[in-house]
Structure 1
Amino acid sequence: MSQELLAATVAAVRQAGARMMTRYSTESRQPGLPELLANLQANDAAVVDTLRTALGQARPRAGWLNDEHGSGPMAAGEWWLIDPVGGNVNAVHGMPDWNIGVSLVRDGRPVLSVLYFPVLDEMFTATEGGGAFLNGVRLRVSVKASLDAALAGTGQAQPGHHPELARRMGDTYAAMMNSALYVQVSVPVTGQLAQVAAGRMDVHWQFDQVRSHAAGVLLVQEAGGVVTDLEGKAWDLAAESYLAAAPGVHAAALEVLTA
């Protein structure tokens, strides 16, 4: 993957982040669901409007998908896969934990990812075989070798969980609480994946995978982490669940989640 394409993607994402920052306020409060949904949609539209032109110029033959809740396999070829505002629900309530995520997927696997946290000005980047970086500094997953020192997490990929999925999430959360040092349930999911790549967290698992997680998965892989489905098989974009973790705790976390 060329450095020119990565630089163009970073520039586009940074521009989209600047546009979002003109919309973002720590004083933002939502009076009800209609207003909340309208603001979510307006944020997404502002980011997509900024990204679509720039990324189309950078890779004109690549397809375009900006359904952050999309799942399942993708058609062959290259696709821009966009999560306009990961953690958008945080952004519209004035909280800082949100990001803009872009990945380039080639024949079903991510080959480039850019994940930007505008409030913190943290730019995570990765290319297939080229490593993962935070603001230009190479990332490494943690060296922890025991779950009793691990920071773990999971989160909702999308609202409206089936009751059985919610029950399963609750059961594994309780099981992980009894094994790991600390466990969180939060969004954005890609934010947790970035923290695993940076070695700030050690374990992230997800039951309702969506394709937009690909940006964070590539970050973890390129930072030396292990990403599998919950049967221990290699991660695939169409998998329904996954575990991303530092190598020293992956096997133990998988055992907890599948007990």
Structure 2
Amino acid sequence: MQNEINIPIILDAVRKIGNSFLKDYKQNSIPQSMNELLKQLEDIDTLCLASLKEDLSLEFPNTPWHIGDEFDTDSQRNPSQEYEYWLCDAMDGAIQYLQQMPGWTINLVLIRGGKPFFSVIYDPLANEMFWAKEGEGAFMNGNALKLSFKTDLAIMLAVFEYGHQDKSNNNLNEKIGSTVSKLLDNFGIVRNYGPHGLQLAYVGAGRIDLFIQEDLDTYNWIAGLMIAREAGAEILTADGNPWKWGSESLLVAGKSITEKYLSIKS
């Protein structure tokens, strides 16, 4: 198995399909029924996957493809048994795209040995390409990413997210509410933006100071958490333990900021 990969080919493939979606952005009517919504989401997945498979088939002829279905809670608890495969979130933030709002990206991750080896997140609206390779750092449009170095919580931007798993019988709504209250009580700026992976890449870029989520959302996280990690961020669970595939919460920030957050009394 080759350690070196042709990064420009991967980036070009992701940029191509992202720019294709950009041409059609706001050109279709906003879905007004569940059937319309599901059909348009399916069309996005089909078009994105077909384009990426075609453009990467020569370079990776034997690498299988998996769709990261964030609605499938059980499948997110463990990586596939295959040594190498592509994990594709065809469009992170597809709801924003269909609602004609910013905040949608193309995310792609190469998994090796049960962990991300290479990941890319492309934001066509901003023309920003974030990517990272294991042990080699994280970049945006060719520039190395740098974490926030703020020390004052009053000027920090914290974001919270939530996934699609059932929250009716596991106290998740209460836990999420408690976490949001903790952020509001202690951080100067608190937001919920939408595309999970892009927000994690923004942690790596120093645009967001802290990201936290209180439920299982591996497929939405995996591309962005690798970029944040390679930029130097700590990847933890919400209670401060090391994050691993299948963990049911995520806390990402620079070490000094995670320490500040974890020291706050609930």
TM-score with structure 2 length normalisation?
Answer: 0.89
Which of 71, 77, 100 matches 1:72?
Answer: 77
Which of 122, 143, 159 matches 2:128?
Answer: 122
Structure-2 residue corresponding to 1:199:
206
Q: Give the distance between the partners of 1:112 and 1:149, measured in 2 at CA.
A: 32
Are 2:59 and 1:58 aligned?
A: yes
User: What pairs with 1:224-235 in structure 2 (closer than 5 Å)?
Assistant: 224-235=232-243
Structure-1 residue corresponding to 2:222:
214
SS in 2 for 1:140: coil
Structure 1: which 5+ runs fail to align? none
Change (3 A) 1:255 1:63: farther
Which of 93, 96, 119 matches 1:113?
Answer: 119
The amino acid of 1:80's aligned partner reads W
The amino acid of 2:188's aligned partner reads L
Structure-1 residue corresponding to 2:42:
41
1:125 to partner: Cα distance: 0.8
Are 2:150 and 1:144 aligned?
A: yes
1:117 to partner: Cα distance: 0.5
Q: Give the distance between the partners of 1:162 and 1:48, measured in 2 at CA.
A: 33
Structure-1 residue corresponding to 2:247:
239
Change (3 A) 1:174 1:26: farther
The amino acid of 1:189's aligned partner reads H
1:242 to partner: Cα distance: 1.3
Q: Give the distance between the partners of 2:162 and 2:97, measured in 1 at CA.
A: 16
The amino acid of 1:86's aligned partner reads D
Change (3 A) 1:73 1:31: same
Which of 167, 180, 188 matches 2:174?
Answer: 167
Change (3 A) 1:155 1:212: closer
Aligned residues with identical type, % of pairs:
29
1:28 to partner: Cα distance: 4.1
Runs of 4+ in structure 1 displaced over 3 angstroms? 159-163
Q: Give the distance between the partners of 1:13 and 1:134, measured in 2 at CA.
A: 14
SS in 2 for 1:129: coil
Structure-2 residue corresponding to 1:90:
96
Structure-2 residue corresponding to 1:182:
189
What is the CA RMSD across the aligned residues, in angstroms?
Answer: 1.9
1:155 to partner: Cα distance: 1.5
Aligned residue pairs, count: 257
Change (3 A) 1:233 1:76: farther
Contact 2:26 2:100 in 1 (8 A): yes
The amino acid of 2:152's aligned partner reads S
Change (3 A) 1:212 1:63: farther
SS in 2 for 1:57: coil
Structure-2 residue corresponding to 1:9:
10
Q: Give the distance between the partners of 2:12 and 2:226, measured in 1 at CA.
A: 19
User: What pairs with 1:97-108 in structure 2 (closer than 5 Å)?
Assistant: 97-108=103-114
Change (3 A) 1:26 1:132: farther
Q: Give the distance between the partners of 1:246 and 1:174, measured in 2 at CA.
A: 21
Change (3 A) 1:12 1:162: farther
Which of 251, 256, 259 matches 2:259?
Answer: 251
Structure 2: which 5+ runs fail to align? none
Structure-2 residue corresponding to 1:81:
87
Q: Give the distance between the partners of 1:170 and 1:231, measured in 2 at CA.
A: 15
Q: Give the distance between the partners of 1:90 and 1:225, measured in 2 at CA.
A: 27
